[in-house]
């Protein structure tokens, strides 16, 4: 547990939250500034800042918790869909340095956007550039 981390304080019960789910390794509670009713944050109990630094076991648990509750959140809110996303690192908009998955219930006509819009500038890349990029990534994944 990291000092001064607001989500660690929630895990420890030092700060109140509207909990919706808890198990040994994960916790889910309502976002205090909801983008829609039922906006939920799903977090690992361990203080890890970024997805890539989560132990694999914690990553599995986190996604399993998401999988368990996302349909129930939608049902409870009468929402046919949800946007699920993680701000991973400060430059992406991450303000709380403790991994959290946003689950935002979505409705037809809510005038929200798509995740593909977050980076601001859509790219046009030709096939050669795409192939080079895929290779750069593949080479780094190899042996991981």
Select 32 or 130, whichever has its Cβ closest to ligand AMP.
32
Q: How far apart are CA 33 and CA 37, in angstroms?
A: 10
Least Cβ distance, residue 90 to Zn ion (angstroms): 15
Do the Cβ atoms of 22 and 69 come closer than 8 Å? no
* Tokens read off for 12: 């420890």
Q: What's the per-residue H, E or C state across 5-67?
A: CHHHHHHCCCCCCCEEEECCCEEEEECCCCCCCCCEEEEECCCCCCHHHCCHHHHHHHHHHHH
Select 9 or 76, whichever has its Cβ closest to Zn ion.
9
Catalytic annotation, residues:
100
- Distance spanning both ends of the chain, measured CA to CA: 27
Select 55 or 93, whichever has its Cβ closest to ligand AMP.
93
In the complex, the residues that contact ligand AMP under the rule CB under 6 A are 6, 15, 17, 31-33, 41, 87, 93-96
Residue 51 binds which of Zn ion, ligand AMP, none (CB < 5-8 A, kind-dependent) = none
Least Cβ distance, residue 122 to ligand AMP (angstroms): 22
Q: Does 5 bind Zn ion (CB under 5 A)?
A: yes
- Residue among 7, 27, 61, 70 that touches Zn ion (CB under 5 A): 7
Interacting residues with Zn ion (CB under 5 A): 2, 5, 7-8, 47, 98
């Amino acid at each position: 547990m990291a000092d001064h981390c607001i989500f660690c304080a929630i895990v420890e019960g030092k700060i109140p939250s509207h909990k919706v789910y808890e198990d040994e390794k994960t916790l889910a509670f309502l976002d205090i500034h909801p983008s829609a009713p039922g906006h939920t944050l799903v977090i690992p109990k361990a203080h890890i800042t970024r997805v890539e630094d989560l132990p694999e076991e914690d990553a599995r648990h986190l996604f399993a918790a998401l999988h368990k509750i996302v349909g129930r959140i939608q049902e409870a809110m009468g929402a046919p869909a949800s946007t699920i996303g993680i701000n991973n690192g400060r430059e992406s908009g991450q303000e709380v340095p403790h991994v959290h998955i946003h689950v935002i219930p979505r409705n037809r006509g809510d005038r929200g956007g798509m995740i593909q819009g977050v980076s601001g500038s859509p790219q046009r890349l030709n096939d050669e550039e795409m192939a080079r990029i895929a290779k750069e990534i593949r080479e780094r994944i190899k042996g991981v």
